[in-house]
A and B are shown apart, each in its own frame.
Chain A
Amino acid sequence: MDKLQTVNVLRYDPAKDEEPYLETFKVPANDTTSVQDALAYIKDHLDKSLSYRWSCRMAICGSCGVMVNNVPKLACKTFLRDYPEGLTLEPLANFAIEKDLVVDKTPFLERLEAIKPYIIGNDRKPEEGPNLQTPAQMAKYKQFAGCINCGLCYAACPQFGLNPEFIGPAALTLARRYNLDSRDHGKAERMKLINGKDGAWGCTFVGYCSEVCPKHVDPAAAVNQSKVESSKDFLIAMLRPQEA
């Protein structure tokens, strides 16, 4: 039995609006209605001009991040049944709004690119066969490899909001993930970014990133492990004889 539920959506049309405003919709919902279903209903039946991102509907593509009652969530993994009082949907915090629920993720993608999230300096050739890892070697980074680049952690990070230069949770986590990978040799390159004030040290361990991460990657742990690593780097550099 579907009942009508209130869904407030922050609307913004760059062609017409000076600033965003809330619009209220009534959406039929039952126990299986996700926020994404609700958005699709609005677009199909109430207002076809509504813009939002989505793709996989199963929490793996990372496209559908929105603020649900001020908390960053994946629209596909959030259900109206958990909000009997109604809910307010806004675009991910800390990103500029392009239109309605669509944000400009460029700052995040630039950071991701900057930390080189791929294996560096491994000159193995295909003829040499697969690059084997022991379960222990894989266990070191596996959790941090679960990131789907949804950007919820950036919307949850007040440091990223207040300091646009901060590399931020997901990118620093991916840097840590590759630094921990036994097949990788790019640590020295990545540490240059991590050691800076906008690297790991830009984090003040608010910890909300780990709270909202839909894949339980625990970015706060990765970032703060990098602080330990960065401190080691600093100490070693201090103790090493200066080059003439």
Chain B
Amino acid sequence: MQNRKPYVRPIARTWYAENNFFSWYMVRELTIVPLIIFTLNLAAGLFALVSGPSAFNAWVAFSSHPLMLIINVLALVGALYHAKTFFSMMPKVMPIKVGDKKVSDGTVVAVQWLLVLVVSAVVLALV
């Protein structure tokens, strides 16, 4: 066994760029960045609303800045992409049974998107 000399290959810092699957995984993880900015801005908006009309108008002006609009669009796209990945893993992680039969993956995914549509419609009807 004196010739044993196991070679450990180094992992490049850019490992996620070498494989499409890993790149999309990183995109999924990165969707959190615009979402955090969106959430913080929304929270700031709530505080501004309580602080009075001038603060709120300033917040509205800040939020209509093109950069904020771009971040909002990114946050929406990111949230939808994240939802897509989350919804498709749902039936695998929490298999649902009705009686003795497993509900098909497609049905679980469809029901989740239907819920998104219903909740969005309710919210849109309220504003």
Contact = CB atoms under 8 A, between A and B. Distances in A.
Interface stretch (A14-22, A29-37, A120-128): A14-22
Contacts of A104: 6
Nearest to B26: A206
Nearest to B91: A221
Given A158-B22, A206-B25, A207-B25, A225 B93 contact: yes
B7 A205 contact: no
Given A224-B92, A228-B94, A98 B15 contact: no
A102 to B, nearest CB: 10
Contacts of B5: 14-15
Interface in A198-240: 204-208, 211, 218, 220-221, 224-225, 227-228
Contacts of B8: 96-97
A98 B19 CA distance: 25
Contacts of A136: 100
Contact of B93 (A14, A96, A206, A224): A224
Interface string A132-175: 00001001000000000000000000100110000000000000
A201 to B, nearest CB: 14
Contacts, number: 62
A177 B18 CA distance: 32
A93 interface: yes
B11 A161 contact: yes
A124 B11 CA distance: 48
A208 B92 contact: no
A78 interface: no
B4 A98 contact: yes
Interface in A62-80: 70-71
A178 interface: no
B21 A224 contact: no
A205 B100 contact: no
Nearest to A206: B25
A224 B94 CA distance: 9
A208 B25 CA distance: 9
A216 to B, nearest CB: 12
Interface string B12-40: 00011011011001000100000000000
Contacts of A97: 6-9
Given A14-B6, A220-B89, A228-B94, 5 more contacts: A15-B3, A20-B9, A161-B11, A206-B22, A220-B92
27 contacts: A14-B4, A14-B7, A15-B3, A20-B7, A20-B9, A70-B19, A71-B19, A93-B9, A96-B7, A96-B8, A97-B7, A97-B9, A98-B6, A158-B16, A162-B11, A204-B29, A206-B21, A206-B22, A206-B25, A207-B25, A207-B89, A208-B19, A208-B21, A221-B89, A225-B92, A227-B93, A228-B94
For the complex of A and B, list the 3 residue pairs with the smallest distance between their C-beta atoms, beginning with the closest.
Answer: A96-B6, A14-B5, A221-B92
